[in-house]
């Protein structure tokens, strides 16, 4: 039988770990994320926790606010005492068909350097409209809340060009100038695979990439390189 003092200690330890915020819970709850070079990202869900999240990120030199797919009304959860951002401080707002116009208007009134990016929709023409499939945009948006890292959503996969036996034979069949001098079938070591060769394994599905968020980060980096933004 386990002594009561050990059970009590275990329960306290379990409670302590349950209160520790994980990277996933921070993203899901909309806590600000640091994207490097003084750029901060915050996602508004239309919940009470939007208030401290936006208040913590609002004073950052450059800020991305994601308003693409809020679950409820966002405007009612904007901090009432939100000050105006300095004119040089950019605010990139990610928008889409589900973006509430009242929340966007409230942010615009407090941010002179507001730029909208995303999918155009009825009554909403972003400053930078992107040709992204709505399903792909929604999948990339939901991936962050499901635990995919923001780095994975932003970084492009660099795939090496495959150079197999058939490619080698084709190269050998060409002359020094790149023109074909010998038919590939005449080259010793033809590329016909053996009958018992196993088919190549299927590639795993590619992780989603958030094109809209990528473009906002790229725009920030470009403005920073052109010295159009303050560096601190």
Domain with CATH 3.90.226 in the chain: 21-156+209-225
The full DSSP string for 95-163 is E-TT--HHHHHHHHHH-TTEEEEE--BTTB--SEE----HHHHHHHHHHHHTT--HHHHHSPP-PPPP-
Residues 6 or more apart whose CB falls under 8 angstroms from that of 61 comprise 38, 39, 89, 229, 230, 232
CATH no. of 21-156+209-225: 3.90.226
- The neighbouring-strand residues paired with 95 are 118
pLDDT in tens, the chain (232 residues): 545 444 344 333 333 333 333 333 344 456 899 999 999 999 999 999 999 999 999 999 999 999 999 987 898 889 888 999 998 899 999 999 999 999 999 999 999 999 999 999 888 999 999 999 999 999 999 998 888 888 888 886 544 444 455 555 565 565 555 555 555 454 445 556 666 666 666 555 667 899 999 999 999 999 999 988 866 6
Give this prediction's pTM: 0.69
Q: Kind of pairing, strands 91-95 and 114-118?
A: parallel
């Amino acid at each position: 039988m386990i002594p009561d003092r050990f059970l009590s200690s275990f329960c306290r330890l379990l409670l302590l770990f349950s209160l520790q915020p994980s990277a996933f819970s921070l993203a899901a709850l909309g806590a600000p994320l640091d994207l490097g070079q003084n750029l901060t990202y915050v996602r508004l869900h239309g919940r009470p926790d939007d208030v401290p999240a936006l208040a913590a990120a609002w004073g950052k030199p450059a800020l991305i606010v994601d308003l693409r797919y809020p679950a409820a009304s966002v405007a009612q959860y904007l901090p009432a005492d939100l000050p105006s951002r300095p004119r040089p401080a950019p605010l990139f707002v990610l928008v889409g068909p589900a973006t509430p116009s009242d929340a966007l208007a409230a942010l615009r009134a407090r941010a002179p350097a507001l730029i909208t990016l995303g999918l155009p929709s009825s009554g909403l023409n972003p400053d930078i409209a992107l040709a992204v499939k709505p399903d792909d945009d929604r999948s990339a948006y939901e991936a962050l809340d499901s635990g995919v890292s923001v780095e994975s959503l932003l970084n492009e996969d660099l795939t090496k060009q495959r150079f197999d036996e058939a490619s080698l034979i084709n190269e050998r069949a060409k002359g020094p100038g790149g023109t074909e001098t010998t038919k590939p079938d005449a080259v010793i070591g033809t590329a016909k695979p053996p009958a018992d060769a196993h088919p190549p394994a299927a590639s795993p599905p590619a992780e989603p990439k958030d094109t809209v968020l990528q473009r906002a980060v790229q725009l920030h980096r470009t403005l920073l390189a052109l010295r159009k933004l303050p560096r601190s």
